[in-house]
Structure 1
Amino acid sequence: MVGQDTLHLADVNPEYEQLLQAMGGKAPDLGAFPDVYTLRAFLVEAKKNMTATIGKPEGVKEEDVQVPMRDGAKITVRVYRPEKPPSEGSPLIVMLFCERLGFVALNVDYRLAPEHVFPTPVNDCWDALKWAAAHASELNADPLKGFIVGGISAGGNMAAVCGHLARDEKLSPPLTGLFLSIPALLPKEAVPEKYRSKYLSLEQNKDAAILSEKAIDLFMSTFAPLLLL
């Protein structure tokens, strides 16, 4: 029988409950959109509004670089660098932490499904990470001071995969860490039989705000990942 400590993991955090109330009592369900194109337009507009509200960080300069991929395509990598970088080079992170921590940060605009299904988005992230390792000195970065790949949600999944690839293919310079924020890592099909009675998160959160079961099904059917079980 599943312990009570496990069941309590589904309880709504009081801080999150306050946030929901501030948003009118319920956050949007991404699974309520009729298709991924409508959802994408909504998210692009939401990001524009958020950027306009927050503004650009001070002390940071931005540059877009076109990085070649293995299939001949090019993707955009946005480079964030301190306006006053240290002379000996900054740590390098493939994400967004340069304002407070003095990193050189790369934001990878990997190609998206359904136009580009698995494994293209993963390959894009890995190719961009290898590009960052090879061009670190041009970015005034020193990976030996710190070399991190990170992401949020699906990006956390990509970062975890890149971490395994970096280990297996002996990326040089080597990664010094991963930043995985709410990563999607364990599909229900991959859960061993003896643990399935404890795998409750999907069932407990099937009607959750933002990432409901319907939203997850939409994303997975669009991405079309290959499960190697």
Structure 2
Amino acid sequence: MAPARPEIDPELRALLDDLPLMSELSPEAVEQMRRLPSAPLDALLVGRAVDRRELTIPTPDGARLPMSIFSPGGADRSTAAPCVYWIHGGGMVMGDRFSQIDIPLEWLDLLGAVVVSVDYRLAPEVTGTTLVDDCYQGLLWVAGHAGELGVDPARIVVAGASAGGGLAAGVTLMARDRGTPVIAAQMLICPMLDHRNVTTSSRQYSGGPGVWTREMNEYGWRSVLGDLAGEDVPVYVSPAAAGDLSGLPTTYIDAGSAEVFRDEDVDYATRIWAAGGQAELHVWAGGFHGFDALYPEVRISAAARRTRKDWLARVLNPASGTQAPPPSAVVPEQAINSPR
């Protein structure tokens, strides 16, 4: 008998019925999804005063990582801005730096944040720590070029969704252990944290089609771990395996009650508290994996996004007790600068 599952929010349920769902991933399915168009970035930028810059940076092994930088257009450059370093989702095997980019672009609008998104290499073409190493190299570049970017190096937030949330947690552990760079906060949105797949929620979402099932999760982890198993799995790849969660920056974690990652995310927050750290945890009743990215217009999604924004405002502007005003007004499409 299949285990009982929490009910999906009624508004989401009606929309989910029209979404093509899968039970498992295969190399062929991943390749097909990789060929799908990226997020409609131009449409997202219409009506926003945004300066956009595209560049690549080198990695120690000779690869080059594309990064996109979105800065508030018309902002007062005499005051350094906060920065959100964004790591996209996609189960470690798909996605690009424009995936889910609408989420941090809202923070650019509302908080005046510079958004930097990194295109880390994907599994199974690379395995082990390569993905998280790529993300760490991008973060080092941002911290090292804070002045050029107009960024306050003391207000860099590492954020990501799903696999990107897990990589954000891994990058934060790596920065803690290496002593650089300074991370003001980490925002982990429905993060993929634990390769072991042993929780109640992972078993609840097995054996049937879904947005992200236990079987799909196992495929993603096999792809990134390769032959690594047991104690050989680096904690930077699977942060839930870390024995020490002390010394981390203030943390935001959220998940849906109706998803694979629910229990590992709750456990991660609990262990941060146990280590004396600060974490804010939200489990959205009736939310499935990635609900607010897929359907931002429904009430539960709007609440999740609003709550994240309010938390970021508190973290980035603690002295004022209020969020920073938007740096610029909505402007015509022609005000958006082209990549340079």
Q: TM-score when scaled to structure 1?
A: 0.80
Is 1:141 matched with 2:132?
Answer: no
Describe the superposition over 1:114-171 as per-residue Cα deviations: whole angstroms up to 9, x where unpaired: 2222221111001111111111111011122x11111000001110011111111111
- Gaps in structure 2 of 5+ consecutive residues: 87-103, 232-340
Partner residue, 1:204: 204
1:40 deviates by: 1.7
* Secondary structure, counterpart of 1:164 in structure 2: helix
Is 1:21 matched with 2:17?
Answer: no
Partner residue, 2:196: 188
- Distance of aligned partners of 1:36 and 1:130 in 2 relative to their CA distance in 1, 3 Å threshold: same
Is 1:11 matched with 2:6?
Answer: yes
Aligned partner of 1:22: which letter?
A: L
RMSD: 2.4
1:55 deviates by: 5.0
Partner residue, 1:125: 135
Structure 1: how far apart are the matches of 2:53 and 2:179? 29
Aligned partner of 1:37: which letter?
A: E
Is 1:164 matched with 2:173?
Answer: yes
Is 1:99 matched with 2:109?
Answer: yes
Q: TM-score when scaled to structure 2?
A: 0.55
**Matched ranges for 1:44-63 at <5 A:** 44-45=36-37, 47-48=38-39, 50-51=40-41, 54=44, 56=46, 58-63=48-53
Aligned partner of 2:32: which letter?
A: T
Tell me the number of residue pairs that the alignment of Structure 1 and Structure 2 aligns. 206
Structure 2: how far apart are the matches of 1:30 and 1:78? 33
What percent of counterpart residues are identical? Answer: 26
- Distance of aligned partners of 1:60 and 1:54 in 2 relative to their CA distance in 1, 3 Å threshold: closer
* Secondary structure, counterpart of 1:123 in structure 2: helix
Structure 1: how far apart are the matches of 2:47 and 2:127? 33
**Matched ranges for 1:69-108 at <5 A:** 69-86=59-76, 87-95=78-86, 96=104, 97-108=107-118
- Distance of aligned partners of 1:108 and 1:83 in 2 relative to their CA distance in 1, 3 Å threshold: same
1:76 deviates by: 0.6
Is 1:110 matched with 2:120?
Answer: yes
- Distance of aligned partners of 1:116 and 1:143 in 2 relative to their CA distance in 1, 3 Å threshold: same
